[in-house]
Structure 1
């Protein structure tokens, strides 16, 4: 049995009330004060997440652009240095290996930020596909630490500990070699919450310095450390997918409603033909949002019924802290759901009615300064 890994902030979490759980082989805080309190802090003020468990893979070499064009679904041909794109890495059959962010340093150098639970699987896949290209694939996960500061006050708080003018960093852009609390960092205007904010990357042993400085800088505004629990409710409200739920080896990005990040007009990428066929034949399944009309919280993998027949399953469901309603996402048969307004969720032994509602459940205008 492999030993669970600890981030550089493990001792801080333990000393400051973090309730630790195992997640993707890591000891991570699921909450501190409580999920609801942390969720509202991010929506209204600022919250901070330890995301050092994420994977970072650098791709360098003269064929780096050709390689990521082949490997990933988005189109990186017109990407500029300092920009970030969200994308999928797919199997030939169209299912998802992972969803990730791509940071461009130069035409021959990119950083891929991958999900914690998929690091080894992704690395094996990337290394296998890289053999036909003149590129180096460097796993930097074990020496790169990361935090995310998210919320409407994130810029104001972070600005207090850096000389970099943060208003110059546009949404989905980054700056490298930025000094934050005396530490050289990479900072990007990205996040997984639906709020404005930043993700900050440092060397492993320097993250605690930055974390403590930001906590101190935001204490008057009520900044809170936030755990995995509210990270999930925040991303869910904002309509952001979680691997293994809204997307997976068996759920394609176009089925899940993220076709914008799949560029079918590209010459080639792994999964292109399968995804094209899916689109041309009519996407078989569709991700929909719903609100419970009766009592009960819709949990992942609960059956979705229409007139007593199963038409799909719940991918994620919660009591939404922002809406204070029981809502969920479900992957259902596209043709069957057309024109319908209500569905039924099988919650244990009872069937509970729900109405279809638009997604995302929460939308905020994220800053896009230039």
Structure 2
């Protein structure tokens, strides 16, 4: 079981530790709902040091990575980032990732790629298989460092106080290096909560210092529980639950990531072209349950008494004070307003297909 550099500090802050993707991580501190509401109303900080951060370096790094993702990487330039997915030959999603264009460092093209903790070994092997023969060097950029996510409407103000830099000009999905406590820190305006915020790569020493400074400044330490409820309200996918290697981005309602108009080939393109022409057999939708019972992963979805799908993620939505879920259903039932039901412990609970995201920050 791996432990992040912040493990002891999380314990000292009251974190309840649980196993997650081979790591010991805090699932909560004060409590999931309290942490969730802190991020929505002010600011919270997450230890996300279990995530993978790879550096891709070499001539034409972006052009060569283009062959592995369906999104047009030339839509971004240095200092910008894009959310996308790695695909297999069948158009299935191997992982979702954020790709950061670092431009040229010492004359060599460089990208950062953030990947899911459970997929680090498989993703690294996949990238090495396809990119290393093309001269792209792939390395662990995080090593023994710390990854922090500072999220919420007060995140920029809190970070500016500590770095002394004006961050107002850093756009959503923009990134740059800032100085914190005398060290250069890779900082991106990205997150997994539906709020404004930043994700930061720091050395072990500076990461531990910043964690302490933020908590002393009243920022709420937040765990995996609040991270999950926040991302679900924002209808952000969880790899392994809402999508996997047998799910295409078109099925997962991630068609906006697929840029078939670009005249470039990528793994899985032929399958996605066929699905675009012929349609898919299922689609991920958002559900709002009519009662107060929560639809959990794996619960069955029904229409007029017939089994039609399955819940992939479900939770109580603290910001909305009602239960929400994501589920796969046939395309004919994916229309907004469609009335369905979910089998919860033997009872059929009414549910309705609703617009995603369930929650949108002001």
- Asked if these proteins are the same fold (TM beyond 0.5), I'd say yes
Q: 1:47: which partner in 2?
A: 44
The CA RMSD over aligned residues, in Å, is: 1.5
Deviation at 1:283, TM superposition (A): 2.3
Q: 1:331: which partner in 2?
A: 328
Greater alpha carbon shift after TM alignment, 53-62 vs 33-42: 53-62
Contact 1:284-1:335 within 8 A present in 2 as well: no
Contact 2:336-2:353 within 8 A present in 1 as well: no
Contact 1:194-1:235 within 8 A present in 2 as well: yes
Report the 3-state secondary structure (helix = DSSP H, G, I; strand = E; otherwise coil) of the residue aligned with 1:322: coil
Rounded Cα–Cα distance in structure 1 between residues aligned with 2:292 and 2:215: 39
Q: 1:124: which partner in 2?
A: 125
Mapping 1:211-230, distance limit 5 Å: 211-216=211-216, 218-219=217-218, 223-230=219-226
Contact 2:81-2:175 within 8 A present in 1 as well: yes
Which of 228, 235, 242 is the equivalent residue of 1:239?
235
Q: 1:16: which partner in 2?
A: 13
Rounded Cα–Cα distance in structure 2 between residues aligned with 1:63 and 1:338: 42
Report the 3-state secondary structure (helix = DSSP H, G, I; strand = E; otherwise coil) of the residue aligned with 1:179: strand
Change (3 A) 1:185 1:338: closer
Rounded Cα–Cα distance in structure 1 between residues aligned with 2:97 and 2:27: 22
Q: 1:150: which partner in 2?
A: 151
Greater alpha carbon shift after TM alignment, 245-254 vs 96-105: 245-254
Q: 2:280: which partner in 1?
A: 283
Deviation at 1:140, TM superposition (A): 2.5
Deviation at 1:336, TM superposition (A): 4.4
Rounded Cα–Cα distance in structure 1 between residues aligned with 2:175 and 2:298: 37
Q: 1:193: which partner in 2?
A: 193
Rounded Cα–Cα distance in structure 1 between residues aligned with 2:358 and 2:292: 19
Report the 3-state secondary structure (helix = DSSP H, G, I; strand = E; otherwise coil) of the residue aligned with 1:73: coil
Change (3 A) 1:74 1:144: farther
Mapping 1:303-314, distance limit 5 Å: 303-314=300-311
Q: 1:113: which partner in 2?
A: 114
Pair 1:32-2:33 in alignment? no
Deviation at 1:20, TM superposition (A): 0.3
Rounded Cα–Cα distance in structure 1 between residues aligned with 2:158 and 2:334: 45
Report the 3-state secondary structure (helix = DSSP H, G, I; strand = E; otherwise coil) of the residue aligned with 2:206: helix
Deviation at 1:295, TM superposition (A): 4.7
Rounded Cα–Cα distance in structure 2 between residues aligned with 1:95 and 1:293: 33
Deviation at 1:286, TM superposition (A): 1.4
Pair 1:255-2:251 in alignment? yes
Deviation at 1:26, TM superposition (A): 0.6
Contact 1:284-1:333 within 8 A present in 2 as well: yes
Rounded Cα–Cα distance in structure 2 between residues aligned with 1:127 and 1:133: 9
**Normalised TM-score (structure 2):** 0.95
Rounded Cα–Cα distance in structure 2 between residues aligned with 1:12 and 1:180: 19
Deviation at 1:141, TM superposition (A): 3.7
Rounded Cα–Cα distance in structure 2 between residues aligned with 1:339 and 1:82: 37
Runs of 4+ in 1 over 4 A off after TM superposition: 336-340
Rounded Cα–Cα distance in structure 1 between residues aligned with 2:210 and 2:122: 30
Aligned length: 357
Deviation at 1:256, TM superposition (A): 1.4
Report the 3-state secondary structure (helix = DSSP H, G, I; strand = E; otherwise coil) of the residue aligned with 1:143: coil
Change (3 A) 1:295 1:65: closer
Deviation at 1:79, TM superposition (A): 2.0
Which of 346, 349, 358 is the equivalent residue of 2:346?
349
Contact 1:32-1:226 within 8 A present in 2 as well: yes
Rounded Cα–Cα distance in structure 2 between residues aligned with 1:119 and 1:72: 17
Contact 2:145-2:207 within 8 A present in 1 as well: no
1:117-158 alpha-carbon deviations (Å, 9 max, x no partner): 110111111111114412111122433321011001111111
Deviation at 1:17, TM superposition (A): 0.4
**Normalised TM-score (structure 1):** 0.93
Runs (5+) with no aligned partner, structure 2: none
Runs (5+) with no aligned partner, structure 1: 366-370
